[in-house]
């Protein structure tokens, strides 16, 4: 993307930059790096150093915790206009990453080096308010995830996940298992049971919700 486009996207996606004129925003971009990565690229991994704060302009990053067996538990997704709280905490604490971030699509991001991030945090109140506001929001979401994993049965969590994706869901059983921190075989078995109960209809890489009311009661 050309710089004027990036400038415009940053202002529209991140209100914290609306107060910066073109000269100041260009100076910020001069100190930063524009990243263009392909889908499937590992943006960061466990134990890797945290050196920059990414501001997504296009694309989605999936952040997950990976177990010794290779199983993943999705923690959250980062979309344009949002920030990665794991990156924020690593930069603030000067520690390495303890999860993995993978580009789910082609990603364009402006990477603010750690010194620039720290300076903005200290000098630019709108940016500081944005970062800590989103931090609090994400922590709340993660607490809900912990509660669901600890206290809800997998069929409840699967029902809730399906309800949040619309009437017709184009996905794989493996992708759903990754989001739930489970394995494909268990999710496939639950989906088959849902279908036998008339809650959903299954096709290749497609799930259609047939009875949203019953599915909602199961999720509750």
Tens digits of residue pLDDT in 116-154: 999 999 999 999 998 888 888 888 877 877 766 666 688
pLDDT for 2:
66
Domains 3-150 and 153-219 share a fold: no
Fold of 3-150: Jelly Rolls (2.60.120)
- The domains of the chain are located at 3-150, 153-219
Alpha carbon distances (Å) from 64 to 73, 194, 218: 5, 27, 26
Give the pLDDT confidence score for residue 52 in this predicted structure.
94
Whole-number pLDDT of residue 183: 79
Establish how many alpha carbons lie within 13 A of residue 23's alpha carbon, considering only the half-sphere containing its beta carbon.
Answer: 0
Instruction: Output the CA–CA distances (angstroms, integers) from residue 8 to 45, 98, 123, in the order listed.
Output: 30, 33, 22
Q: 78 near 6, Cβ under 8 Å? A: no
* CA atoms within 13 A of residue 95's CA, in its CB half-sphere: 10
The confidence score (pLDDT) of residue 73 equals: 81
Identify the pLDDT of residue 54.
93
pTM of the model: 0.68
Q: What is the pLDDT of residue 148?
A: 67
Q: Does domain 153-219 have CATH number 3.40.50.10540?
A: no
Question: Are 159 and 215 a contacting pair, CB within 8 Å?
Answer: yes
Return the DSSP state at 20: S
pLDDT at 151: 63
Ranges of residues in the chain whose predicted pLDDT is under 70:
1-2, 147-152
């Amino acid at each position: 993307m050309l710089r004027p486009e990036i400038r415009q996207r940053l202002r529209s996606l991140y209100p914290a930059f609306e107060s910066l004129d073109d000269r100041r925003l260009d100076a910020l971009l001069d100190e930063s790096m524009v990243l263009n990565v392909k889908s499937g690229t590992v943006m960061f991994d466990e134990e890797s150093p945290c050196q920059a704060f990414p501001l997504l302009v296009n694309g989605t990053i999936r952040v997950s915790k990976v177990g010794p067996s290779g199983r993943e538990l999705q923690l959250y997704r980062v979309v344009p206009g949002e920030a990665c709280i794991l990156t924020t905490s690593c930069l603030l604490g000067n520690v390495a990453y303890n999860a993995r971030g993978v580009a789910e699509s082609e990603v364009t991001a402006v990477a603010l080096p750690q010194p620039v991030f720290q300076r903005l945090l200290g000098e630019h109140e709108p940016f500081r308010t944005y970062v800590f506001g989103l931090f609090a929001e994400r922590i709340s979401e993660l607490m809900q995830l912990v509660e669901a994993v600890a206290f809800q049965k997998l069929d409840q969590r699967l029902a809730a996940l399906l309800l949040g994706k619309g009437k017709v869901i184009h996905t794989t059983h493996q992708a759903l298992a990754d989001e739930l921190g489970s394995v494909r075989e268990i999710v496939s078995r639950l989906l088959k049971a849902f279908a036998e109960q008339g809650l959903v209809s299954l096709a290749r890489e497609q799930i259609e919700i047939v009875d949203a009311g019953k599915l909602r009661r199961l999720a509750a």
